[in-house]
């Protein structure tokens, strides 16, 4: 098992180091999420209330995640490294897990900026809302990494990815918004956990079929 964990750690580390060196994704995501929030301020009519702002926060988060996921497999594609990686790694699901961890790290970093910015600019966030964001981020990275690998196999991947991820992220938005605005956030948090578990198992088990020739 240490071989599996070792693979995951090494691959995730590679992605993070690559990002630290090239700074391709994270600064763009940060700028994107803050710009989106500013646009939302002008999109919300006067006196729209906090609930509408919470809704828009979720739109911003989903699109920021998409923004990051679109670049998830770019390093491998640019150097045509995915096939080699698939051949070299014993268990292919390790590649998926590592990529998910890396995507989650980027999204998490963007959220570390976005959530305080949201709290300052719009409305306060309580613990349940933050928990909702964390769980939904896990879900969207789990599903998005796989969808991104699927989209990368075809032409027009930039166009396909949002089409694949948006319908899949609707339950996450429901759970996240519910955790933010409901007075009974526990149900929504439990629902997000369920989503994460179901789709993590499914993605983990099926990734191999997506990348092998």
- The site for other proteins (CB under 8 A) is made up of 143, 146, 150-151, 153-157, 159-160, 163-164, 166-168, 170-171, 174-175, 177-178, 181-182, 187-188, 191, 194-195, 198-199, 202, 206, 209-210, 212-213
Residue 2 tokens, joined:
């240490």
CA of residue 18 relative to chain centroid, distance: 18
| In the complex, minimum distance from the CB of residue 120 to other proteins, in angstroms, rounded to a whole number | 25
Residue 113 tokens, joined:
């900026």
Other Cβ atoms within 10 Å of 197 Cβ, number? 13
Name the residue nearer to other proteins (CB basis): 78 or 213: 213
| In the complex, minimum distance from the CB of residue 202 to other proteins, in angstroms, rounded to a whole number | 6
| In the complex, minimum distance from the CB of residue 194 to other proteins, in angstroms, rounded to a whole number | 7
In this structure, are residues 49 and 122 in contact, taking their beta carbons and an 8 Å threshold?
A: no
Name the residue nearer to other proteins (CB basis): 45 or 154: 154
CA distances from 191 to 29, 38, 70, 142, 200 (A): 27, 30, 26, 16, 14
Name the residue nearer to other proteins (CB basis): 5 or 170: 170
| In the complex, minimum distance from the CB of residue 164 to other proteins, in angstroms, rounded to a whole number | 5
Name the residue nearer to other proteins (CB basis): 42 or 158: 158
Name the residue nearer to other proteins (CB basis): 33 or 185: 185
Q: DSSP label at 122? A: T
Contacts (Cβ under 8 Å, ≥6 apart) of 6: none
Name the residue nearer to other proteins (CB basis): 5 or 198: 198
| In the complex, minimum distance from the CB of residue 166 to other proteins, in angstroms, rounded to a whole number | 7
| In the complex, minimum distance from the CB of residue 29 to other proteins, in angstroms, rounded to a whole number | 23
Give the residue ranges of DSSP H helices in 23-126: 26-43, 50-69, 74-78, 82-88, 93-121
């Amino acid at each position: 098992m240490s071989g599996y964990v070792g693979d995951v750690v090494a691959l995730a580390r590679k992605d993070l180091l690559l990002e630290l060196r090239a700074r391709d994704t994270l600064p763009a995501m940060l700028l994107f999420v803050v710009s989106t929030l500013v646009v939302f301020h002008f999109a919300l009519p006067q006196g729209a209330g906090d609930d509408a702002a919470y809704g828009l926060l979720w739109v911003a988060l989903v699109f920021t995640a998409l923004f990051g996921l679109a670049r998830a497999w770019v390093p491998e594609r640019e150097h045509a490294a995915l096939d080699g990686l698939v051949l070299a790694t014993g268990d292919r699901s390790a590649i998926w897990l590592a990529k998910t961890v890396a995507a989650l790290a980027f999204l998490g970093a963007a959220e570390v900026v976005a959530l305080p910015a949201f709290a300052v600019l719009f409305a306060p966030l309580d613990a349940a809302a933050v928990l909702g964001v964390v769980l939904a981020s896990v879900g969207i990275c789990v599903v998005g990494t796989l969808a991104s690998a699927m989209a990368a196999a075809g032409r027009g991947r930039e166009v396909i990815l949002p089409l694949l991820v948006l319908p899949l992220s609707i339950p996450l938005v429901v759970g996240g918004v519910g955790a933010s605005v409901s007075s009974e956030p526990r149900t929504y948090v439990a629902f997000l956990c369920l989503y994460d578990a179901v789709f993590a198992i499914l993605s983990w088990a099926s990734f191999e079929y997506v990348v092998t020739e």
